[in-house]
Amino acid sequence: MEKIIDRFLRYVAVDTQSDENSESQPSTAKQLNLLAMLKDELTAMGVEAVLDEYGYVMASIPSNIEAKVPAIGFIAHVDTAPDASGANVKPQIIDEYDGGDIPLKGVPGLALKPSDFPEMLHYVGQTLITTDGTTLLGADDKAGVAEIMDAVQYIMEHPEYKHGDIKIGFTPDEEIGRGVVKFDVGKFGADYAYTMDGGEIGELEFENFNAASAKIRIQGRNVHPGSAKGKMRNAILIAMELNSLLPVEQRPEYTEGYEGFFHLIGISGSVEEASISYIIRDHNRKLFENKKDTIQRCCDFINMKYGEGTATPTVKDQYYNMREKVEPHYIVVEKAVKAMEMAGIKPKIQPIRGGTDGANLSFKGLPCPNIFAGGLNFHGKMEFVPTQSIEKASEVILNLISLFAE
């Protein structure tokens, strides 16, 4: 068998960054390079696999037991976040991590430090894979991809391993919120599924944020500054004023746990016209709707003060909290807890302060909690992953399949 870490390192070498400004599916053609590789590798293992026109790889391993048991799916996304480059990734392998700072040698003076990231100390004595400081690593979610593929390889090479129907899915564009927009749950054929897309070892999540985006167009009025008194309306300043109306304590840097937020992600423009963009998040659906109403009320105030049409909001829902869809099928959570305990892992059930493909899949009728993939500090050059966490995640997958086959 190919070692799981070698497999992971092969996958992170492929640039698969998605592009939120693209309208195509997948958003970048380069994601298809890894998707096609995965399809070919599955086929070479003897697994029936297809890659469709939308960039979805779907594969199926038939049951080898007589009992009728649920078909279980495992899903991971191949794309990396637009936040940092995913090209020419140069991983650093730190054997027997000693608890000190880790220089990121691609950028002089840059280091991964426990003083900044104290969770590093949880992994003293283990092998860590880091970036070199010039790119992200890609453990989100190529660790999940490697874990699923490692489990598939084990199953195909051990015919004595008993299992029901197993479904495998690899998706593009999760990082830009479009991972399963065209994913055909019926065609996939699973009764329950798991995304292998969580963070550090032990994480198990079946509730996530309700999410929306908000983009507000500010229409100003430009007049020569020498004669602007009583006439000019500076759209940039109005945008700043609108932002000041939102509650400061509900910014991401002041929230945790179940607390939601308004996150200012972009502001641009000129005196004549400006644009201001937010993401809106809350686990509680009522509070989520209230936050969207708050955006509208802020715009209403600006329009009352400066004239109708000054602030025009466009608010779009992105995904919803999967808890309401997963809880009626709580067996999927119970089995995941037991699978982790069998692997000697203490489960940490917690809400996702974000979203996964599993949220949208759950609302498509496929209950789909999220299991750790092992990485930390996703979406940036400080990303790292302990190799033992990747190995344990693959073990959890195999334990889950066995539990559902009982």
As annotated, the active-site residues are 79, 174
Alpha-carbon gap, residue 324 to 367, rounded angstroms: 10
Q: Per the structure block, which two tokens stand in for 203?
A: 């994480």
Exposure class string for 195-217: b at 16+ Cβ within 10 A, else e: bbbbbbbbbbbbbbbbbbebebb
Integer Cα distance of 395 and 406 in angstroms: 17
Describe the crossing of helices 235-245 and 285-306 by its angle, rounded to 10 degrees.
140
Please give the Cα distance from 358 to 369 (Å, whole number): 6
* 280 φ/ψ angles, rounded to the nearest 5 degrees: -120, 130
Q: Collect all residues with Cβ–Cβ distance below 8 Å to 141 and sequence separation of at least 6.
A: 76, 77, 78, 174, 196, 197, 373
Place of tokens 């297809």: 50
CA diameter of the chain: 85
**DSSP H or E run through 374:** none
Query: Beta strand pairing status for 128-130 and 384-386?
Result: antiparallel
- Strand, helix or coil for residue 295: helix
State the CB neighbour count (10 A cutoff) for residue 190. Answer: 24
215 vs 278: CA distance, rounded Å: 6
Kind of pairing between the strands at 370-372 and 192-198? parallel
Distance CA 161, CA 155 (A): 6
Extract the tokens encoding 365.
């009728």
Bridge partners of 218?
Answer: 274, 311
Q: How far apart are CA 178 and CA 20, in angstroms?
A: 9
